[in-house]
Chains A and B, each alone.
Chain A
Amino acid sequence: MSNAAMQGTYLGEGSGLRAWLLTTDHKRVAWLYLVSLTAFFFLGGAMAVLMRIELATPAGDLVSDDVYNRLFSLHGIIMVWFFLVPSIPATMGNFLLPLMIGARDLAFPRLNLASWYVFIFGSLFALFAVAAGGVDTGWTFYTPLSTLYANGFVSTAAFGVFIVGFSTIMTGINFIVSVHTLRAPGLTWFRLPIFVWTLYATSLVMVLATPVLAASLILIVLERVFGIGIFNPDLGGDPLLFQHLFWFYSHPAVYIMILPGMGVVSEVLPCFSRRPLFGYKAVAMSSMAIAVFGFLVWGHHMFVSGQSAYAGVVFSFLSFCVAIPSAIKVFNWSLTLRKGEISFETPMLYALFFLALFTFGGLAGLFLAALAVDVHVHDTYFVIAHFHYIMVGGMVTAYMAGLHFWWPKLTGRMYSEIAGRIAATVTFVGFNLTFFPQYVLGFDGMPRRYHTYPPEFQFWNVLSSGGAVVLAIGYLMPLFYLGWSLFRGARAPDNPWNATGLEWQTSSPPPPHNFETMPIVTRPAYAYDMKGLEHERFSPHREEAAR
């Protein structure tokens, strides 16, 4: 990438390994994260593919039950903590937050780089746990299984997750402080792009929830390594209390994962329908509402774990409430499209698929929030399908939308639009083929976390496994055409999508300190109805012809 055309941009500031590993430029740190997270995504994905191959037949013929336990545990641990939680904030958030608020960098550039090193340090523990023989507790580390019975490398993996938590908190503090103190002149709170709002809400959750996870993991490690039996029922310790602490973090963590995805979609939909975001303030405030309400619902993971019926009713009610801000968002996105001048570029395709899949997964969440229904489908594939619709169908699709939307800004290159549209469609088809059958399986009563099943479940399982192959192709395609574009792609103009937002006002890729002259903001976000923006749309084909 280091050719003459990159001179004067952040990519031209030295290309050696040293220049990258010691950078404090938020745009380069974003790349460090992007590369490491991509590796983890495909590692976790490979484990999922192995599981789906195993489940293509009712018998346990590919892997033993013990190996299967380790596969789904590591798949969960890697995907949640080493991909989903940092995914959008640490890559696109890192890259874009300073650009979007008109700042030269994040408030604490060295802390930002440190967070990546801490992430890598923590991930070494997790990778060691994988290589040394794995963990078989599931990603949830439930006690007393994890403390008294599990024979895998529980302490190593838990310690790795604990370390990565520090990196999450560092990023969260950096974002919160940057949004409060570094906004450009004129950029009031209600002129911020929704992506910044969602990153702010996400950071709030990161900073306040992650330490509680850290506390519960410390107690597990103390129990396993030092023999301090805090959750040990023999001593009167309360294993359910571990679940309380774990889900106090891990339910809000779901919002750490999905909120930035909602932010990405709120950027993409207005741009490709040439309309201001409908109900801007409602969308912004609902992001904050999700961050707060998300903390009130964790008990719905414990309906059948022995918490009191009274607590169950309260948590069930509160879980219905958290659907309201999400629904507000979905309606506002839909109304943004109304009478819009819609075009279907790759980011827009991904964003529309997000809208469909998120709604579908969210509605299933209402089933699960209902106390009586949940008792029926608890720990079945219905739950698996539900959260994969949100996490993969929602979050990863939004991640891809953002990656394609801002790729020209990240790299200064365009990718093949046709390949992008094909990949988006393949992903959508493959995703539904993989996970819709799991709703059916779960409702029919197939429990999660088993490597064998009765033969009558085979039809839907084969569909699901076939879908997983399609989905894998859909995720591998961008690796190739985006990789190709990195070196051979057409030069991207500064604002290829003719979008609003400060990040598009600087060059592609941006200069080392983001802006040649520091911007002053005079307009609300998403001013797509204002004069001067109805230029001709960029067409990659025309651009390629001109080259």
Chain B
Amino acid sequence: MSGTESIAFDTPQRERRADNFAMWVFIGSEAMLFGAIFLVFLVAHIDFGPAFAAASKHLSLPLGTFNTAVLITSSFTMALAHRFTLQRRWHATVWALAATSALGVCFLVVKGIEYGKEISEGLAPVLDLPFRYAGPDPVHAQLFFGLYFAMTSLHALHLIGGIVVIAGMIALWRRCSPANRLRRVVAVGLYWHFVDVIWVFMFPVLYLINR
């Protein structure tokens, strides 16, 4: 076979085209997953707008904003990694990938701090933890925080997946042919940017309800 990973293809060009398309189909599929979750949130938001707006104020806007900036930066470094791969600047690529996953870890740490803060303030209706909410309409605020934890943890799981894949890619970097390096960076890059896009929507939806 002429340098293709799958025996189905006769040229690497066709295979790259198929790889790229497959990632986009996968992203479309993932978009439906998050779309459904957003729909659940939207329906509850329509029903209990004031309670959700009040509950949203209890989230930490500085940490949320910081985290959004972190994730946007990680997308930028991921795009740089792609750029460097095309130029075959392998050292720079590895550094950009490492930076990307480090920023991902940074996001998770900040998210963990946020979770800790919310748990200590009694705002986490999870695993029978005490729920002590001082604002108006605590019943529907509980629904808000339930959705907040469901949505952000699902996003965090996706991010963890991305970090693990990047880490694995760096670990196997030396054993990987240049063609495969490009394929992997392109594929994981698309995924990483998609997870970023999800957060770009999640951030205003959860944190910025009429401050």
- Considering the chains assembled together, what is the distance between the CA atoms of A209 and B150 in angstroms? 20
Residue numbers in A under 8 Å from B127 (CB-CB): 226-227
Name B's A-contacting residues (CB within 8 A): 6-9, 14, 17-18, 21-22, 25-26, 28-30, 32-37, 39-40, 43-44, 47-48, 125-128, 139-140, 142-143, 146-147, 149-150, 154
User: Which secondary structure dominates where chain A touches chain B?
Assistant: helix
Q: Are A236 and B47 in contact (CB under 8 A)?
A: yes
Say whether A103 contacts B8, CB under 8 Å.
yes
CA distance A209 to B36 in the complex (A): 10
Residues of B within 8 A of A235 (CB): 139-140, 142-143, 146
Contact of B43 among A174, A228, A238 (CB under 8 A): A238
Residue in B7, B33, B43, B48 whose beta carbon sits within 8 Å of that of A211 in the complex: B33
Q: A177 contacts B47, CB within 8 Å?
A: no
Interface contact B40-A180, CB-CB below 8 Å: no
The residue of chain A having its C-beta at the shortest distance from the C-beta of B138 within the complex is A235
Q: Which residues of B contact A219 (CB under 8 A)?
A: 37, 40, 150
A169–B25 CA distance with the chains assembled, in angstroms:
10
Closest to A109 in B: B6
Instruction: Check A109 against B8 for contact (C-beta < 8 Å).
Output: yes
Contact present for A211 and B150 (CB under 8 Å): no
Contact yes or no, B150 A106, CB < 8 A = no
Give the docked Cα–Cα distance between A105 and B28 (Å).
24
Query: Which residue of A has the minimal Cβ distance to B23?
Result: A173
| Bound complex: CA A155 to CA B35 (Å) | 23
Cross-chain contact B147 with A173 (CB below 8 angstroms): no
B139 with A177: CB separation less than 8 A: no
A487 to B30, CA, bound (A): 44
Nearest to B48 among chain A residues (CB) is A236
Instruction: Tell me how many residues of A have a C-beta within 8 Å of chain B.
Output: 45
> At the interface, yes or no: A108 with Cβ under 8 Å from chain B?
yes
User: Would you call A216 and B36 a contact (CB within 8 A)?
Assistant: yes
Q: What are 18 A-to-B residue pairs whose CB atoms are below 8 Å?
A: A103-B8, A109-B6, A109-B8, A176-B25, A177-B18, A177-B21, A207-B29, A212-B32, A212-B33, A215-B40, A216-B36, A226-B127, A227-B128, A229-B125, A230-B150, A235-B140, A236-B140, A241-B39
**A residues 154-206 with Cβ under 8 Å of B?**
169, 172-174, 176-178, 180-182
Residues from chain B with Cβ under 8 Å of A180 in the complex: 18, 21
Question: Which of these, A208, A214, A236, contacts B139 with CB under 8 Å?
Answer: A236
- Beyond A211-B29, A236-B140, A238-B44, is A107–B8 a contact (Cβ under 8 Å)? yes
What chain B residues lie within 8 Å of A245 (beta carbons)?
Answer: 36, 39-40
- Cβ proximity bits A215-241 to B, threshold 8 Å, 1 near / 0 not: 110110010001111100011111001
In whole angstroms, what is the CA distance A98 to B9 when docked? 12
Q: Which of A109, A211, A248 has the most chain B CB atoms inside 10 A of its CB?
A: A211
User: Which single member of A181, A228, A238 contacts B150 (CB below 8 Å)?
Assistant: A228
Give A172 to B28 CA distance when docked, in angstroms: 12
* A315 to B74 Cα, complex, angstroms: 44
